Amino acid sequence: PIVPLRPLLEASNKYKFAHGAFNVNAVAQAEAVIEVHEMFRSGAILQAADLANGFMGGRKDFMNATLEDKKIGAKRIADAVRKIGEHSRIPIVIHLDHGKDFDSVKAAIDNGFTSVMIDGSHLSYDENVELTREVVKYAHPKGVSVEGELGVLAGVEDHVFSETSTYTNPMKVCDFFRKTGVDCLAISYGTMHGASKGKNAKLRKEIAIASMENLRHEGIFGALVSHGSSTVPRYIVEEINNYGGDIQNAYGISIDELMSVIPFGIRKINVDTDIRLAVTRNIREYFLENPSKQNSDSIGGIWSIMDNNKSAFDPRVYLTPIMDTVLTGNEPDDDVSAITDCI
Ligand code: G3H
Ligand code: 13P
Ligand code: NA
Ligand code: ZN
């Protein structure tokens, strides 16, 4: 079934585990994420970034997506996921990642998302509280969960680029939960978005520890979210570079670092970059291993697969790696899938 985020957070709080939350930019990726979670019998959190909705709405220069683009994209992905997931045995959440403003969040909610993030982290504390509270007021009566953010992560974050991190102040976490009513909160504690997180990035666990300690003390339900948590697997970067790419200085958060914060209230771990890297690797590999040996008299497509004459110009063939990526890009005990715990 399609569900809000809240019940998954409650389960993970109770049993002290973290859910992976995976960014998708296409229906095929959503299908794959669902399939892999069904394999693990785990609840699935699919998330589309604000501008990813613009992209799926058909906006090619997605950085300039309008509200109308976002509405179309949100409806497309939510409808598709609903269709795929309605009869699934696992709970599936359709979450908006890094919602930019009230209207973008509303576009997601009105078009079928069951959970939204409102990212007011670039605003002053009071403005952030105000905007987030407004979103909660709109979302909760509709059964939609809300994630807020306090503190700024370094790196590219959809709309905002920040050179440096501003860590979350744990003393403000309780106040933020209480005033806004959010279900979970993204904290800035040493992760960053993108594929260059620096060598041996260490997480400031004390920020999570102190935040949870304060929440417990005040008797407030709170779940913390770790953004910028891709592991950036070395072998995938190397393969991309072997297949003609040139990605330098690529470092992620180690899986051990991520595992070590789970006892301290991290309940959702966001992964986008790893999936982008894996898609890129698979598509590059496909073209390298399948140089264009297409005869001009062949019809291509499914016929060429059947007569073993691989078509290098059929999107139905070369776009399948987008799906394979999530399904087979990682060994079950490795990387991305390792943080997808079972309920
Ligand atoms: O944190 C932000 C997202 O990872 C950015 O995703 O570039 O697909 O919109 P996007
Ligand atoms: P990565 O760039 O580390 O994958 O982070 C993704 C994220 O935080 C999406 O909100
Ligand atoms: Na932010
Ligand atoms: Zn993020």
Residues whose beta carbons lie less than 5 angstroms from ion ligand 3: 119, 121, 149
Q: Is 79 a catalytic residue?
A: no
pLDDT confidence of residue 339: 37
Q: Which atom of ligand 1 is nearest to the CA of 50?
A: 9
CA 48/CA 76 separation, integer angstroms: 11
- How many Å is the Cα radius of gyration of the chain? 20
Confidence of residue 323 (pLDDT cuts 50, 70, 90): low
Evaluate whether residue 267 is within a structural domain. yes
ipTM of the complex: 0.75
Q: Rounded to an integer, what is the distance from CA 262 to the centroid of its chain?
A: 17
Indicate the top mutation candidate among 51, 230, 231 to test ligand 2's pocket, ranked by most ligand atoms within 8 A of CB: 230
Residue 159 pLDDT grade (very low, low, confident, very high; cuts 50, 70, 90): low
Q: Flag whether pLDDT at 267 surpasses 60.
A: yes
What is the arithmetic mean of pLDDT over 297-305? 49
Residue whose CB lies within 8 A of the most ligand 1 atoms, among 70, 152, 193, for a mutation test: 193
pLDDT at 328 over 50: no
Q: What residue numbers does the annotated binding site for dihydroxyacetone phosphate cover? A: 194, 228-230, 270-273
Q: How far is the CA of 323 from the centre of ligand 2 (A)?
A: 19
Question: Which residues span the domain enclosing 10?
Answer: 6-273
Which of 97, 158, 314, 341 is an active site residue? 97
Question: Residue 183: CB within 6 Å of ligand 2?
Answer: no
Q: Averaged over 330-341, what is the pLDDT?
A: 40
| Model confidence at 33: pLDDT above 50 | yes
Find the mean pLDDT for residues 235-264: 95
Task: Decide if 302 is inside a domain.
Answer: no
Residue 21 burial (10 A CB sphere; 0-12, 13-18, 19+): buried
Q: Strands 160-162 and 184-187: what pairing? A: unpaired
Q: Please give the residue that has the higher pLDDT: either 208 or 28.
A: 208
Question: Tokens 């699934």 belong to which residue?
Answer: 88
Residue 166 in 3-state DSSP? strand
319 domain-assigned:
no
242 is a domain residue = yes
Torsion of CA 139, 140, 144, 148, to 10 degrees: 70
Closest C-alpha to 28, from 267, 316, 330: 316
DSSP string, 95-132: EEEEE-SHHHHHHHHHTT-SEEEE--TTS-HHHHHHHH
Beta bridge partners of 97: 49
From 22, 23, 335, mutation site for ligand 2 pocket: most ligand atoms within 8 A of C-beta: 23
Q: Is residue 195 a contact partner of residue 201, using CB atoms and an 8 Å limit?
A: no
How far, in Å, CA of 51 to CA of 73, rounded?
Answer: 9
Kindly report the protein residue whose alpha carbon is nearest to atom 3 of ligand 2. 228
pLDDT in tens, 13-31: 999 999 999 999 988 899 9
Residue numbering of the annotated binding site: 98, 119, 149, 193-194, 227-230, 270-273
Report whether pLDDT(335) > 70.
Answer: no
**Contact of 102 with 53, CB cutoff 8 Å:** no
183 pLDDT more than 60: yes
pLDDT classification of 165: cutoffs 50, 70, 90:
confident
Helix (H) or strand (E) holding 329: none
Does the pLDDT at position 295 exceed 60? no
Measured between alpha carbons, how far is 293 from 312 in angstroms, rounded to an integer? 7
Q: Which residue has the higher pLDDT, 253 or 316?
A: 253
Q: Average the pLDDT over 27-45 and give the result.
A: 92
Whether 341 is covered by a domain: the verdict is no
Residue 288 confidence (pLDDT): 87
> What single DSSP character describes residue 162?
E
Pairwise CA distance, residues 313 & 334, whole Å:
32
The least confident of 249-258, 303-312, 320-329 is 303-312
Q: How many CB atoms lie under 10 A from the CB of residue 313?
A: 13
Q: Name which residue leads in pLDDT, 116 or 60.
A: 116
**Which position has the higher pLDDT, 199 or 291?**
199
Domain count, the chain: 1
Assigned domain for 100 exists: yes
Question: Does 213 map to a domain?
Answer: yes
Mean pLDDT over each residue of the chain, to the nearest integer: 87
Share above pLDDT 90 across residues of the chain, in percent, rounded to a whole number:
71
Tell me the residue type at 13: N
Residues in Cβ contact with 301 at an 8 Å cutoff, skipping those fewer than 6 apart: 311, 314, 316, 317
Distance in angstroms (rounded) separating the CA atoms of residues 220 and 239: 46
The predicted pLDDT at position 330 comes to 43
Q: Does 196 reside within a domain?
A: yes
Q: How far from the centroid of its chain's Cα atoms is residue 9's Cα? A: 16
Residue bearing the CA closest to ligand 1, atom 5: 158
With bands split at pLDDT 50, 70 and 90, how would you rate the model's confidence at 2? very high
CATH code, domain carrying 114: 3.20.20.70
| Percent helix, percent strand, percent coil in the chain, to nearest 5 | 50, 15, 35
Q: Among residues 266, 151, 157, which one has the least CA distance to residue 208? A: 266
Residues annotated within a binding site for Zn(2+):
98, 119, 149, 193, 227
Nearest to 73 by CA among 305, 81, 267: 81
Q: Confirm or reject: Cβ of 183 under 6 Å from ligand 1.
A: no
